[in-house]
Structure 1
């Protein structure tokens, strides 16, 4: 078993928004060994604000994704600060002109990475949480004959209007900072980071989570300590331009908004032929169980299996919740072994 980090680049890539990207850089991490028939592949796209080292805690022997059996690839999402992003210099002048990345851009680049670098034509599973789940749905709709299974955890294939309000509030928090000049930041958005983190924290966990004070189980001394160390310091690791770029990708998420489906959302969902497991959290405020159930009903043969948890959206990335992690592990292992 071996892990490896790679960086794949291609030149002159047309983005869905209409811009031409002089160079597209896709940074990825692999775990395990690729089988001789190249059919033991799990693709695990990143979520909002995350880079591969932030989400690979579940990749371990006996874990939710087991590298002793599967070859796991984490492609870093465009805009996340490792792959092409405003902060990497791969978008000279483009970010200031209002261009943006979409999941069409992410997934079509990932598909080329799999083919050109690894010779992979078939994916056993696309596993994604949050914005990773958005990418999993796009994989199912765009490359249906290439994807055997999908596990979509706490995410939707299209951004809802309610979710859009949350995203716009985050964008407003950053752009209300005095360092925002209308197109970019002239300095560190101290007030922007502060407000951004508190908005995010208020939505990410449920009301029951805060009533129970579960953040103290993670070693935080108080609510303020949790908001500062658990949220604000975390997002201060990211360039604010990258945070904006990923917000724009999330805002533009629609599995049917592409040349293949031309806005026909139900047709795009109905075209997903992969065996799909939809796993929302029962207390998620971003991607509500009702929204996820409605989408599940549009996918032929999809199974809807919610995570009963008070951890809200973070039940889908349960670093600190052993019960939720065990539930996810059992569900994923059952799904991978064809027993679902």
Structure 2
């Protein structure tokens, strides 16, 4: 069944997908100081790591996504060919498969699970790459949305670890408007009495549906709605109300309420300026990125407005700024439409090959 439209686009792009693996870190200390006795990272792999261990590309997942979140970018004729590259698609803490509120035993189950940060996710995957695979350098880190947050954080936490960075539909900091938006979505979920402070025995379905509806209002651009582009993904004869109800019902289908909130809190807190030793100086942190960066905001994104990315790009030394000309809002950065997928594959493919910007 169709779920989140971003997940659906990925699944349709490459149905075979990556092979699932799991990496466990004992006594993982989070940025907040809480210790996870077993921090589990689920990840996927495609292709073969070569003898020199220098053909790997990391693709960190976005909000509530799994290892299939980049299938639109992978395959023969796409920007990333697993016949040549070793592709690692990591899953964030809180997605329900990697360590999450929903799958961690007491005393850290449910609402007692610590808020993990983007830097926590980068730290855990860095341990996976270096400790498990023996990888000391990546061909690239490529991320969409919260994956873009991770890609940019990689460039600051480990500036010499990769040849290139690609960030689509995401920024290096969550600004005030995004924090308020996420607060509204959390409020919609927790207003359901069944949520019970996160100690529910059955999912607070009404709260999750309310959150999905609020989420949907920000997902696509205003012009996407005005031109009724929702008709592209619905059977002929579908009414506006039917389309909204379908999208709302399926957007967070199967997800856990505490997991949803955990990743929203992670999203809210992110600011690369708080990476040691920058002490909150966002501009200095951005200026420390040494790898070439392809920065691709969606021109109509309401989650991560293009102007935020444009302002950040001024402080990044080797930045190619290339907005995605799309009406699909935030999902444009994950190839939401065929035109978006072509634009991303063409530009990312050229960037990976070291060619001048198209």
Which range, TM-score by smaller chain?
A: over 0.9
- 1:218 deviates by 1.1
8 Å Cα contact 1:84-1:91 kept in structure 2: no
- Determine whether 1:287 maps to 2:289: no
- Determine whether 1:217 maps to 2:232: yes
**Structure 1 unaligned blocks of 5 or more:** none
- 1:40 deviates by 1.2
Deviations along 1:4-45, one digit per CA (max 9) or x if unpaired, are 321010111110012111110001000111122111111101
Equivalences for residues 128-143 of structure 1 within 5 A? 128-143=143-158
User: Residue 160 of structure 2: SS of its match in structure 1?
Assistant: helix
Cα RMSD for the two superposed structures: 1.8
Match of residue 120, structure 2, among 84, 95, 105: 105
Q: Residue 94 and residue 187 in structure 1: after superposition, are their counterparts in 2 closer, same or farther (change >3 A)?
A: closer
- Determine whether 1:82 maps to 2:100: no
Q: For the residues of structure 2 that align with 1:157 and 1:94, how far apart are their CA atoms?
A: 30
Question: TM-score, normalised on structure 1?
Answer: 0.95
Q: For the residues of structure 1 that align with 2:246 and 2:65, how far apart are their CA atoms?
A: 16
Query: What residue in structure 1 maps to residue 162 of structure 2?
Result: 147
8 Å Cα contact 2:300-2:327 kept in structure 1: yes
User: Residue 73 of structure 1: SS of its match in structure 2?
Assistant: strand
- 1:61 deviates by 1.5
- 1:2 deviates by 9.6
Q: For the residues of structure 2 that align with 1:233 and 1:334, how far apart are their CA atoms?
A: 35
Match of residue 30, structure 1, among 36, 42, 45: 45
Q: For the residues of structure 1 that align with 2:277 and 2:150, how far apart are their CA atoms?
A: 16
8 Å Cα contact 2:168-2:297 kept in structure 1: yes
- Determine whether 1:304 maps to 2:321: yes
Equivalences for residues 29-68 of structure 1 within 5 A? 29-68=44-83
**Structure 2 unaligned blocks of 5 or more:** 1-15
Q: For the residues of structure 2 that align with 1:91 and 1:242, how far apart are their CA atoms?
A: 15
8 Å Cα contact 1:2-1:32 kept in structure 2: no
Q: For the residues of structure 2 that align with 1:12 and 1:54, how far apart are their CA atoms?
A: 28
- 1:222 deviates by 2.7
Query: What residue in structure 2 maps to residue 18 of structure 1?
Result: 33
Query: How many residues were matched structurally?
Result: 339
| Runs ≥4 residues deviating over 3 A | none
8 Å Cα contact 1:2-1:33 kept in structure 2: no
Q: For the residues of structure 1 that align with 2:245 and 2:316, how far apart are their CA atoms?
A: 40
Query: What residue in structure 2 maps to residue 249 of structure 1?
Result: 266
Q: For the residues of structure 2 that align with 1:183 and 1:87, how far apart are their CA atoms?
A: 10
- Determine whether 1:92 maps to 2:92: no
Q: For the residues of structure 1 that align with 2:96 and 2:151, how far apart are their CA atoms?
A: 21
